[in-house]
Amino acid sequence: MKDITLSSLEIVQIPVLRDNYVYLLHDVATGSTAVVDPSVPEPVLDQLSERGLTLSLILNTHHHGDHVGANLALKAATGCSVVGKAAPEETIPGLDLSVVEGDLVTLGASTLRVLELPGHTRHHIAFWSKAHRSVFVGDTLFALGCGRLLGGSALDLFQSLQKLKDLPSETLVYCAHEYTQSNGAFALTVDPRNEALALRMQGVHEARERGQPTVPSTLSQEFATNPFLRTDDPLIKAAVGVMEETPEEEVFRQLRAMKDDFKAG
């Protein structure tokens, strides 16, 4: 008889700084633990000791300080290894293992696949677990929004978001910031007749009033309500002010520029 290991991955969401989310991933079968994009060490170390966990890996989606700020302190405190994508102009502190598209990161009995998603930065990556229906997207896709262009081009980011469309729609999107309310305020201005969006925003406001996170969402929620994934929609094109036949990547570029100029409320 063959041993079958049913892996299960516990995900702990740690709110830090003003609006960042750091994620602890704990492979229950083996006890292996990783942290995604640790900005600051203390809340991570607190969670580890509270739960009696030993950190094996840091997974970085990109090099920004609010994603890698705790790398060196956590390495020093736990001896963990740092996984990310090496790039000379986007340095990740303490990087031990550089990964590229399609690489598999093993965490105990769980596996995460590396997806290259340039746009927010030139070398941004994500970690996708098909088995656990979860993707850790950093600052690429947000609930009701997407990352700003801080290194990559609009075309890069457009193509990266298209890539996420290929994942199963029930996949949970673990993004790195609680930006949903302000993203939603913009989304309503370009997609005012979208009932699913209006309904979702009600839930978002209620959750925030209770002090609860609005992340993760599912890809299917994003397909229905996130304007940056709906650049093929005639109503979005009209709101952006482009012709029906305008290519989607151009709609996306203009939509991203509109969001940059948008001041909520």
Residues lying near Zn ion in the complex (CB under 5 A) are found at 64, 139
Q: Which is nearer to Zn ion, 70 or 251 (CB)?
A: 70
Catalytic-residue membership of 132? no
Catalytic-residue membership of 26? no
Catalytic-residue membership of 233? no
Amino acid at 124: H
Catalytic residue among 67, 123, 124, 132: 67
Catalytic residue among 27, 139, 156, 191: 139
Distance CA 35, CA 80 (A): 10
Q: Which is nearer to Zn ion, 64 or 230 (CB)?
A: 64
Q: Which is nearer to Zn ion, 64 or 253 (CB)?
A: 64
Catalytic-residue membership of 123? no
Catalytic-residue membership of 66? yes
Helix, coil or strand: residue 71: helix
**Token pair recorded at residue 149:** 């262009």
Shortest distance, position 131 Cβ to Zn ion, whole Å: 27
Distance CA 206, CA 21 (A): 19
Shortest distance, position 66 Cβ to Zn ion, whole Å: 7
**Token pair recorded at residue 265:** 């409320």
Catalytic-residue membership of 62? yes
Shortest distance, position 175 Cβ to Zn ion, whole Å: 11
Query: In this structure, are strands 20-27 and 33-36 parallel, antiparallel, or unpaired?
Result: antiparallel
Residue 177 is given by DSSP the state: B
| DSSP string computed for 11-46 | EEEEEETTTEEEEEEEETTT--EEEES-S-HHHHHH
Catalytic residue among 120, 123, 124, 132: 120
Catalytic residue among 26, 63, 64, 123: 64
- Closest residue to bound Zn ion by CB: 64
Shortest distance, position 245 Cβ to Zn ion, whole Å: 34
Catalytic-residue membership of 64? yes
Q: Is the dihedral of CA 131, 132, 134, 136 positive or negative?
A: negative
Catalytic residue list: 62, 64, 66-67, 120, 139, 177
